[in-house]
């Protein structure tokens, strides 16, 4: 190979995935140096994360811990000199918290089991001791099989399985190839079956609770969806008047399977369950926490970063999402510490009720950005806002719709930022490439057109607000951390969170100071079109 060819090959191997055109005008690199120094050498991000996780712990919406987190984060924003530190409330439902719980098999032998109360289920009012019935139910049609067999029993409602065979490494960082292959433009997807399933899901949980109560079951036990002894405890029924009637607990998969197997022997198990929980009804509103660095140009335009502060409670809600919250707060601290005076206002948002369906960010959208017409679909009658939102037309922009020029979300665990999803906005791509350019050596250089879902920028996207989410290294978020009993501070990565705070701060400053407008997408005017020859799925 000639020397020239070697050089060309070497260049190809080391070229960034989405090469950022050098553009000295658009990024103030002296400001980036300041952000890097403040964010890496004077970081507070791990202190913030530690307080949210170790001291406050799991932060279920409207629980005392979440109230404490709402107060503490506001105080931190005030300590750092943010402006307009405030909460904005929205109706959510009952608070719920665990006091203590335990589970134990006493026949045919004695063994402590790993269990957690299912969120928003009532406690057991002391210890329940009873035999079990294995009655896997996923549809109302399953009820008939078990009718008349559940009185006085603890009902195991999940189909047991066997041990997993995890053939992938639990802890992952994105490879160049993965970053590259993720850059796929999002074609619209028409999925009527998904809508049906969405509308049915909560109904089944309610129907199952009704059925178990009518049949006189003492408690519901489900199997953890992950094995290895991990627990989750996620649940629903938080709306006032919708509290489940039957106590529910999730058991570690290994413990659940053992019970289910023994139930088939001539020495069936006896189970002791104890769940002591509290409901908190003093205020059924949940509160987003907001804080600003005011802009200088008084146009009303602002940029915003957000992360949800609420969590589940099997552990301390560290990667989901004290991590993102601490990074958003740290970006605020960094920019305040540097004394920046941005043209546009920079707003920091800590959302609430995310885990139950993005309630907090949707409330913000609905109150400030756009609302939608009432539904005419009778299937949607009585459903909460977040369940009907996508199916109500037309979108009605509010006065502030044009003011929010860009929103940046963080909610994918503790992994460092590797780039950003432009969410189909091709005009944003070259801008983000410029903004990322200083951070290539910190591992962040990819701008992908793909969309991401499941968190607080998606309702903004539904109404044409430019909401983006960063691409992060997955680490062990999906394999073992997300919503589990080991989502604790010790699985956070300090280097990664410091890096993320620096990049977020820089993005916010760039967005706030950019002379030209930031590119927006057209406001949607109709549902995703179906293929005219597409048949509804048979199911």
Among the residue ranges 2-10, 166-174, 286-294, 373-381, the one whose residues contact a second copy (CB under 8 A): 166-174
Of 252 and 463, which CB lies nearer to a second copy in the complex structure?
Answer: 252
Minimum distance from residue 479 beta carbon to a second copy (Å) = 8
The answer to the question of residue 98 lying near a second copy (CB under 8 A) is yes
Minimum distance from residue 415 beta carbon to a second copy (Å) = 11
Minimum distance from residue 308 beta carbon to a second copy (Å) = 20
CA–CA distance, 117 with 314 (Å, rounded to integer): 9
Angle subtended at Cα 114 by Cα 109 and Cα 119, rounded to the nearest 5 degrees: 135
The answer to the question of residue 499 lying near a second copy (CB under 8 A) is no
Q: Do 311 and 59 contact (CB within 8 A), yes or no? A: yes
Q: Do 270 and 131 contact (CB within 8 A), yes or no? A: yes
Site for a second copy, residues 234 to 253, rule: CB under 8 A: 252-253
The answer to the question of residue 497 lying near a second copy (CB under 8 A) is no
Cis bond before residue 103 (omega within 30° of 0): no
Among the residue ranges 92-100, 137-145, 368-376, 521-529, the one whose residues contact a second copy (CB under 8 A): 92-100
Task: Count residues near a second copy (CB under 8 A).
Answer: 56
Neighbours of 213 (CB within 10 A): 13
Q: Which of 15, 167, 381, 536 binds a second copy (CB under 8 A)?
A: 167
**Closest C-alpha to 427, from 458, 460, 468, 470:** 468
CA–CA distance, 238 with 254 (Å, rounded to integer): 29
Of 29 and 261, which CB lies nearer to a second copy in the complex structure?
Answer: 261
Alpha carbon 315 to its chain centroid, in Å, reads 15
What does the chain come to in residues? Answer: 539
Minimum distance from residue 277 beta carbon to a second copy (Å) = 11
Alpha carbon 421 to its chain centroid, in Å, reads 16
Site for a second copy, residues 12 to 51, rule: CB under 8 A: 50
The answer to the question of residue 170 lying near a second copy (CB under 8 A) is yes
Contacts of 478 (CB under 8 A, 6+ apart): none
The answer to the question of residue 393 lying near a second copy (CB under 8 A) is no
Binding mask 339-378 for a second copy (x = CB under 8 A): ----------------------------------------
Q: Do 124 and 273 contact (CB within 8 A), yes or no? A: yes
Among the residue ranges 76-84, 213-221, 224-232, 364-372, the one whose residues contact a second copy (CB under 8 A): 224-232
Of 275 and 345, which CB lies nearer to a second copy in the complex structure?
Answer: 275
Of 9 and 111, which CB lies nearer to a second copy in the complex structure?
Answer: 111
The answer to the question of residue 166 lying near a second copy (CB under 8 A) is yes
Q: Which of 227, 280, 285, 390 binds a second copy (CB under 8 A)?
A: 227
The answer to the question of residue 171 lying near a second copy (CB under 8 A) is yes
Q: Which of 59, 257, 336, 347 binds a second copy (CB under 8 A)?
A: 257
DSSP 424-477: T-TTTHHHHHHHHGGGGGGT--EEE-----SSTTHHHHHTT--EEEEEE--BTI
Q: Which of 239, 245, 258, 280 binds a second copy (CB under 8 A)?
A: 258
Among the residue ranges 111-119, 235-243, 359-367, 386-394, the one whose residues contact a second copy (CB under 8 A): 111-119
Gyration radius of the chain over CA positions: 25
Q: Do 209 and 245 contact (CB within 8 A), yes or no? A: yes
The answer to the question of residue 72 lying near a second copy (CB under 8 A) is no
Q: Point out which residues pair with 104 in neighbouring strands.
A: 112, 272
Angle subtended at Cα 224 by Cα 218 and Cα 228, rounded to the nearest 5 degrees: 135
Of 47 and 149, which CB lies nearer to a second copy in the complex structure?
Answer: 47
Residue 76 vs residues 81, 85, 500: alpha-carbon distances, Å: 9, 10, 19
Cα atoms found within 13 Å of the Cα of residue 291, Cβ hemisphere only:
27
Q: Point out which residues pair with 307 in neighbouring strands.
A: 350
The answer to the question of residue 267 lying near a second copy (CB under 8 A) is yes
Neighbours of 291 (CB within 10 A): 25
Of 102 and 386, which CB lies nearer to a second copy in the complex structure?
Answer: 102
Of 34 and 123, which CB lies nearer to a second copy in the complex structure?
Answer: 123
Per CB under 8 A, residues contacting a second copy are 50, 54-58, 65, 98-102, 104, 108-112, 114, 161-172, 227-230, 252-254, 257-258, 261-262, 265, 267, 315-316, 475-476, 480, 485-486, 488-492
């Amino acid at each position: 190979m000639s020397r020239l060819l070697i050089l060309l090959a070497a260049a190809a191997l080391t070229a960034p995935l989405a090469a950022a055109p050098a553009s000295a005008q658009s990024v103030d690199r002296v400001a980036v140096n300041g952000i890097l120094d403040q964010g890496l050498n004077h970081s507070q991000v791990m202190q913030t994360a530690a307080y949210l996780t170790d001291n406050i712990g799991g932060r279920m919406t409207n629980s005392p811990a979440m109230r404490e987190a709402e107060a503490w984060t506001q105080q931190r924003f005030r300590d750092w000199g943010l402006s307009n530190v405030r909460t904005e409330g929205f109706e959510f439902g009952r608070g719920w918290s665990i006091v203590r719980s335990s589970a134990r098999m006493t026949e045919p032998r004695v063994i402590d089991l790993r269990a957690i109360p299912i969120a928003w289920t009532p406690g057991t009012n002391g210890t329940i001791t009873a035999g079990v019935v294995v009655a896997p139910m996923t549809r109302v049609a399953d009820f008939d099989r078990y009718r008349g067999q559940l009185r006085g029993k603890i009902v195991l409602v999940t189909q047991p399985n066997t041990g997993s065979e995890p053939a992938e490494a639990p802890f992952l960082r994105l490879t160049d190839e993965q970053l590259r292959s993720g850059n796929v433009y999002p074609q619209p997807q028409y999925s009527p079956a998904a809508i049906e399933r969405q509308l049915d899901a909560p109904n089944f949980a309610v129907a199952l609770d009704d059925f178990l109560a009518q049949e006189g079951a003492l408690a519901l036990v489900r199997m953890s969806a992950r094995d290895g002894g991990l627990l989750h405890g996620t649940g629903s029924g938080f709306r006032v008047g919708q509290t489940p009637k039957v106590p529910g607990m999730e058991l570690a998969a290994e413990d659940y399977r053992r019970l289910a197997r023994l139930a088939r022997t001539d020495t069936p198990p006896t189970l002791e369950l104890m769940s002591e929980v509290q409901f908190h009804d003093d205020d059924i509103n949940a509160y987003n926490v907001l804080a600003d660095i005011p802009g200088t140009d008084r146009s009303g335009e602002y940029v915003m970063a957000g992360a949800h502060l609420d969590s589940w409670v099997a552990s301390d809600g560290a990667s989901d999402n004290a991590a993102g919250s601490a990074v958003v707060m740290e970006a605020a601290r960094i920019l305040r510490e540097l004394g920046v005076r941005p043209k546009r206002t920079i707003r920091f948002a800590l959302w609430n009720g995310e885990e139950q369906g993005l309630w907090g960010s949707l409330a913000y959208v609905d109150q400030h950005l756009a609302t939608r017409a009432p539904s005419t679909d009778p299937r949607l009658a009585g459903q909460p806002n977040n369940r009907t939102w996508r199916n109500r037309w037309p979108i009605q922009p509010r006065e502030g719709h044009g003011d929010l020029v860009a929103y940046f979300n963080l909610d994918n665990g503790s992994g460092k930022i590797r780039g950003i999803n432009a969410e189909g906005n091709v005009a944003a791509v070259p801008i983000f490439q410029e903004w990322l350019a200083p951070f290539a050596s910190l591992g962040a250089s990819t701008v992908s057109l793909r969309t991401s879902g499941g968190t607080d920028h998606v309702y903004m996207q539904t109404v044409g607000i430019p909401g983006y989410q960063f691409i992060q290294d997955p680490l062990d978020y999906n394999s073992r951390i997300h919503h589990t009993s080991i989502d604790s501070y010790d699985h956070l990565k300090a280097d990664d969170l410091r890096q993320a705070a620096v990049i977020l701060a820089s993005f916010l400053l760039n967005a706030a100071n950019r002379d030209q407008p930031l590119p927006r997408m057209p406001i949607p005017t109709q549902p995703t079109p179906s293929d005219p020859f597409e048949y509804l799925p048979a199911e």
